[in-house]
Amino acid sequence: MSGRPGAPRHVAIIMDGNGRWAKRRGLPRVAGHRKGVEAAQVIVRAAGDLGIEVLTLYAFSSENWRRPATEIADLMDLLRRFIRRELGQLAEAGIRIKVIGDYHAFESDVVALIDDAIARTADNRRATLAVALNYGSQSELAAVARDLAREAKDGTLDPESIDESTVAARLSTTELPPLDLLIRTSGEKRLSNFLLWQAAYAELHFTDTLWPDFDADELAAAIAEFGRRERRFGGL
């Protein structure tokens, strides 16, 4: 892994706007999701070219279960196809695949595909693609609280010793570098339950571009803008 000076080590993207992209063209929402997967493939490669160590993509939130069953089924089909089509290339490119979120709630064949993707790329070190699947930041934090409470009750953890690092060590992102840059497409300016803890000092980048139209040039521009930001972390 080789970060470039001034470049973000860890970039996360809330890939939003697939439905609106399709609607503007009079197409069904699934057409937008299909284009969105193509955009994700392009951006994964571009992130590697830009020297980003970790790219975290928000693909399915724990709130996305509120969508119609047909749309969820379409998304699962696209996930299946993405893994089948991309895994070989990602593995060869030295990319480690990591999943954050409770993907075990997905159908068993999808779980098996994901487990295989994780296992086959576990030793890769060039870069990490973290995919958020059935991810919700609040439930992630609640799970940490539950674990800490259990350990305190068992007497294996002194409650007074709990600090930020104790919590961070139990998050699904624990072994990843700190989140530097969080991008959201489609003009929405909210976090939608994504990486609430991890985004504490991330730079935020909002673009009106709908996810299917987000390309390598726009990622490069966001990275360049990141390089011009002054990060103070509370200091002067």
Catalytic positions, written as ranges:
16, 64
Residue 60 in contact with ligand IPE, rule: CB under 6 A: yes
Number of residues that bind ligand IPE (CB under 6 A): 18
Query: Residue 231 CB, nearest distance to ligand IPE (Å)?
Result: 25
**Which H or E run contains 10?**
strand 10-14
d(C-alpha 98, C-alpha 131), whole Å: 6
Query: Residue 225 CB, nearest distance to ligand IPE (Å)?
Result: 21
Residue from 7, 13, 14, 16 binding Mg ion (CB under 5 A): 16
Residue 19 in contact with ligand IPE, rule: CB under 6 A: yes
Q: What is the DSSP letter of 49?
A: H
Concatenated DSSP letters for 177-210? PPP-EEEE-TT----TTSSTTTTTT-EEEE--S-
Residue 221: count other Cβ atoms within 10 Å of its Cβ.
13
Left, alpha or beta for 98 (phi > 0: left; psi -120 to 50: alpha)?
beta
d(C-alpha 82, C-alpha 36), whole Å: 11
Half-sphere exposure at residue 200, Cβ-oriented, CA atoms within 13 angstroms: 7
Of the pair 7, 31, the CB lying nearest ligand IPE is at 31
Of the pair 64, 139, the CB lying nearest Mg ion is at 64
Residue from 58, 106, 214, 226 binding ligand IPE (CB under 6 A): 58
Query: Residue 15 CB, nearest distance to Mg ion (Å)?
Result: 9
Classify 55 as helix, strand or coil: strand
Residue 188 in contact with ligand IPE, rule: CB under 6 A: yes
Of the pair 15, 97, the CB lying nearest Mg ion is at 15
Q: Which does 53 bind (CB under 5 to 8 A by kind): Mg ion, ligand IPE, none?
A: none
Residue from 39, 75, 117, 176 binding ligand IPE (CB under 6 A): 75
d(C-alpha 21, C-alpha 190), whole Å: 19
Of the pair 65, 231, the CB lying nearest ligand IPE is at 65
What sign does the CA torsion over 22, 104, 115, 46 have? Answer: positive
d(C-alpha 212, C-alpha 209), whole Å: 8
Query: Residue 170 CB, nearest distance to ligand IPE (Å)?
Result: 23
Residue 14 in contact with ligand IPE, rule: CB under 6 A: yes
- Summarize as ranges the residues that interact with ligand IPE (CB under 6 A): 14-20, 58-61, 64, 75, 186, 188, 190, 192, 211
The residues of the shown chain that bind Mg ion, judged by CB under 5 A, are 16
